[in-house]
Amino acid sequence: MNPATALATVLIDELVRCGVTDVVLAPGSRSAPLALAAHADSRVRLHVRVDERSASFVALGLAKRSERPVALVCTSGTAAANFHPAVIEASESGVPLLVLTADRPPELRGTGANQTIDQIKLYGSAVRWFAEVGVPEDRPGQVAYWRSLVCRACQRASGPPDPGPVHLNVAFREPLIPDGDASWCESLDGDASGSWFRARVAPPSAALHIPPTRRGVLVVGDGAANVRRYVAAAGMAGWPVLSEPNGGGRYGDHAVSAYHFLLGDQEFADAHRPDVVVTLGRPGLSRPLLSWLRRAEEHIVVAPDLTRWPDPTRSATQVAQAVEIPIAAGGDAWLRAWRHADHVAREAIDAVLDSSGLTEPRLARDLAEVLPNGSLLFCGSSMPIRDLDQAMRPRRGLRLMANRGASGIDGLVSTAVGAALAHNGPSYALIGDLTLLHDQNGLILGPREPRPDLCLVVVNNDGGGIFSLLPQAALEDPFERVFGTPHGVDLGYLAAASGLPYTVVQETEELSKALKGDGLRLVEARTDRARNAAVHVAMREAVRAAMRD
């Protein structure tokens, strides 16, 4: 057996032993040993994509939804560079990725050899750990090294306490394909009881105990852990819960869904300053919420990893791996005030949306309401997730996800596809037109590839809608070209080119019917950017007027 085949066979086998079930491959020559080993292993679900960036975000979506490491494989050269945006998002979001980049052996590096670049620590600080595997050799001791290396990579990618991407750079000398000889100087098998070793993880330190108070608030942002436990504790303590949709805590009687508009009202924000705020995950959708956090007297950030904690407002007074929220004696005037204000604001928001026709906030609100229990809703990182944050009512039975680690536009179609492939139930995505165009290669699935049950709902306002809500919109002369960026693409032709079922929604009443179906499909909702900006202003003004009344 040639060394390249031996190394690849052991690597894939040990990945499976460590719990990896999915491998995403972008084809190439130097990665042939890994590709053939993954294809030959029936325990692996293999996903092949023609575009490295698309492949990397499919892996990201799979790992994000399954919460298990996913292996990502490519050949040498710029192929590996195309993984970088997904690696950054995985790092910022804490998603376990195992990036295996094939490479030329050392004697070909720095010589101008074809498709050879410097891949050593290619992703810099965006990975939790990097290892140069080294060129395989036919000598005793190699198998133990390879298996222990893979186990360490899986453990580091999975955490706890800090999951994220790991990079293994795998150098292969030719020949790259099996030679028909099965002999090797030692057994290629691993430990019969399981993977090569099992790392033991120490339990977290004792939880921080908060003094009893009725004037507390729980804030839930992206990437929060143990959400149900903390929401239940906040409910027992009489605290309101301010949860971003992708935080996973917007449900139940204590959920305050209109907090963006309530905290944008200075009078309300000043009158409802808490004794303590506990933050899970990383909030970042609402500027009024972030401004309010900056003025908190006691702000406790819960972070499983004490070397990396989210504090975008730099207002944390304490950071803990866990906290205990005690039940406080006394009346419930604090919670009642929040709930009453939320009810008043919710009615004002809904009144505006109900009379707005097919607008982006209404589409977001209505979509979140009509999806069946057990659904996954993947959201675009820019306006779709913000529209949901501002318009979505509390509900159970819906899993919301978004790439809010670095909040880029990269690879969102592919991430949604990957997440749908890992989800046990119907999946949907709410994204913008530029997001779709930026990753239209994500629509390309070969005839033998696993296919997701995913409905892509695309808001088409012919450009970048979020800029119409920013100060740049006042620059009338250059705005449309350098910020609005109209494209004029007919999404129907794009769907046809990819062989996807396609529906246009022109009235809100058509949404439920348009969503029906199975497999990968596209629903387009055409909106107007100027009208959308006006609706956002109208919601804000309606809430302020309702609060004054």
Q: Distance between CA 340 and CA 346 in Å, rounded?
A: 10
Given a contact cutoff of 8 angstroms between Cβ atoms, the answer to whether 104 and 29 are in contact is no
Given a contact cutoff of 8 angstroms between Cβ atoms, the answer to whether 48 and 25 are in contact is yes
Return the minimum-mean-pLDDT range out of 182-191, 275-284, 389-398, 519-528.
182-191
142 pLDDT more than 80: yes
Mean pLDDT, all residues of the chain: 93
Q: How many helices (H) and strands (E) does the chain have?
A: 19, 19
User: DSSP per residue over 478-492, as a string?
Assistant: HHIIIII------HH
For residue 202, the model assigns a pLDDT of 54
465 pLDDT more than 60: yes
184 pLDDT more than 50: yes
For residue 194, the model assigns a pLDDT of 54
Residue 151 structure tokens = 């186990």
429 pLDDT more than 60: yes
**Residue carrying structure tokens 């302020």:** 544
Rounded mean pLDDT of 66-89?
A: 97
Interval 94-119: pLDDT, tens: 999 999 999 999 999 989 888 899 99
For residue 5, the model assigns a pLDDT of 97
Q: What is the pTM of this model?
A: 0.94
Q: How confident is the model at residue 160 (pLDDT cuts 50, 70, 90)?
A: confident
Residue 490 structure tokens = 């007919």
Query: What's the burial of 18, exposed, middle or buried (CB within 10 Å: 0-12/13-18/19+)?
Result: buried
Alpha helices of 239-395 — where are they, by DSSP H? 259-263, 266-271, 287-294, 333-354, 360-370, 383-391
Q: Distance between CA 342 and CA 345 in Å, rounded?
A: 5
For residue 198, the model assigns a pLDDT of 45
**Of the candidates 196, 242, 522, the residue with the CA atom closest to the CA atom of residue 389:** 242
Rg of the chain in Å (alpha carbons): 25
367 pLDDT more than 80: yes
Rounded mean pLDDT of 359-367?
A: 97
Interval 305-323: pLDDT, tens: 888 899 999 899 999 999 9
Rounded mean pLDDT of 219-239?
A: 95
The verdict on whether omega for the bond into residue 486 sits within 30 degrees of 0, i.e. cis, is: no
Q: Cα(first)–Cα(last) distance of the chain, in Å? A: 81
Task: Specify the 3-state DSSP secondary structure of 216.
Answer: strand
> At 361, phi and psi to the nearest 5?
-65, -35
Q: Distance between CA 459 and CA 253 in Å, rounded?
A: 31
